[in-house]
Structure 1
């Protein structure tokens, strides 16, 4: 399949492109600025994609420019969809990457796709707005949405939690400052996410939303202990009150039932394997 991929230079994009090529697909990287409507339309026309994987986004929740979330995640997606609609031959699948962040501080886990979204930051709000906007194109494009829960791997920014931990262990740091140590979250492998996306391109139904998750949360403290075991290092863990949220949800994970029904069972790399891969890279 000829795939047009936006955000190919990003963390997920780099891994997805490698996975797609290894699976035998032809990948065309979208290089145009999502704000450049004319440039987008020209490049999309030249690409003539059979399917589209839209990963480009401002994804760091703490990004300083709130407007950038909406400029790229919402309006940039609008521009891309308009370019796809203008094609003489429409793609057969369009994957739009949203985020499990749209569920907000949901106090019931595992979280299914039926859970009412309650975004609590600009990133999540921009992604949910993107979903609603994109659904107005369903009469023109066979698009669907993915909401990945936390995942990690080599190349992820150290502004995210697991890469921050790995960076400290690689540097043999004596200590690290963290927030709530007892919280449980999913920390899935980016390879699992990429394989899920590839399978969904074959089987997803237009208009549907799929949680990309394992349903297996682990505590932050257990991740630290696992890194200590793998590396044989000790590290002092300091709780920084500035990193502690008073209303932190103790356990968040997704319900993978809909994903599994659509694509079948997938092999999940263990967290140990993921961390060893990250430490080695």
Structure 2
């Protein structure tokens, strides 16, 4: 093996690379010297050696991408993730069948990457009242998004003996660049624009909010770790209610918002308290530091 071969950069394929999480992860991986191959969904997107078009619902398209890229690592982020998405079947086409297509493509072209990191969601736990949900909790999804992720996980586990796969279950996370149909960016935008009022649903729901920069650091560390054939929560273990976030944003900006509760925003299936146990994550990747949520909020408000 020549010294030139020894220095081959690590090739990492990221699906959903242009999404909120993907953009942060790609920047991090590039910063570490990886060659990142991004997949893009648009039919008219021009292709380059590091940008490949991929319709994840097409087995042929998945095979072509795996054959072309032959990546050392695969991080599968592509998904329909907005719970209010209007066509329920899309959740299953993309989140379940799309993931299966990717795994079958690896088998079909005879390519085994060093690690496949597949993003699920803490939504699979459903309406569990606990302040420390760990990976042994039963999966009880309450909407199509969560049900599709739970089905995806069940399918993926049947591949654990064939491919080195790690399933991550991120709890809520946020940061600069997240769209305002998510709660924290919506709150931040209202404060940034100094709006007089905001319409929200139940402001007493508690969530374990992480910073997107912490989440992608955890993903990277897990790629490097020995862990495989595992499911891992990605969370901080610290709950915040929307009421606390509103109060903190008010303190940070000196602006008061009138909070109007819109009954249309109060979902019957709203999970009251969703807080994860990061114990397993900390065992697997002890060096990854959490980012205090107030720092995240400050960072977002300063954008």
TM-score normalized by the length of structure 1: 0.95
Is contact 2:209–2:235 with CA below 8 Å preserved after alignment?
A: no
Deviation of the 1:105 alpha carbon: 0.2
Deviation of the 1:125 alpha carbon: 0.5
Note if 1:211 corresponds to 2:240.
Answer: no
1:111-126 equivalences in 2 (<5 Å):
111-126=133-148
Q: 2:208 matched to which residue of 1?
A: 186
Is contact 1:2–1:27 with CA below 8 Å preserved after alignment?
A: yes
Which stretches in structure 1 are left out of the alignment for 5+ residues? Answer: none
Q: Which has the larger share of strand?
A: 2
Q: 1:140 matched to which residue of 2?
A: 162
Is contact 2:221–2:288 with CA below 8 Å preserved after alignment?
A: no
Q: Distance in 2 between matches of 1:158 and 1:42?
A: 35
Where in structure 1 do 4 or more consecutive aligned residues deviate above 4 Å? 245-249
Q: 1:149 matched to which residue of 2?
A: 171
Q: 1:279 matched to which residue of 2?
A: 301
Deviation of the 1:89 alpha carbon: 3.7
Note if 1:259 corresponds to 2:281.
Answer: yes
Q: 1:21 matched to which residue of 2?
A: 30
Note if 1:5 corresponds to 2:27.
Answer: no
Is contact 1:144–1:204 with CA below 8 Å preserved after alignment?
A: no
Q: 2:46 matched to which residue of 1?
A: none
Distance change in 2, residues 1:250/1:139 (3 Å) = closer
Is contact 1:3–1:51 with CA below 8 Å preserved after alignment?
A: yes
Note if 1:99 corresponds to 2:108.
Answer: no
Distance change in 2, residues 1:81/1:246 (3 Å) = closer
Q: Distance in 2 between matches of 1:194 and 1:179?
A: 29
Q: 2:97 matched to which residue of 1?
A: 75
Is contact 2:25–2:216 with CA below 8 Å preserved after alignment?
A: yes
TM-score normalized by the length of structure 2: 0.89
Is contact 1:48–1:87 with CA below 8 Å preserved after alignment?
A: no
Higher mean alpha-carbon deviation, 53-62 vs 173-182, is at: 173-182
Q: 1:85 matched to which residue of 2?
A: 107
Is contact 1:50–1:91 with CA below 8 Å preserved after alignment?
A: yes
Distance change in 2, residues 1:43/1:187 (3 Å) = same
Q: 2:45 matched to which residue of 1?
A: none
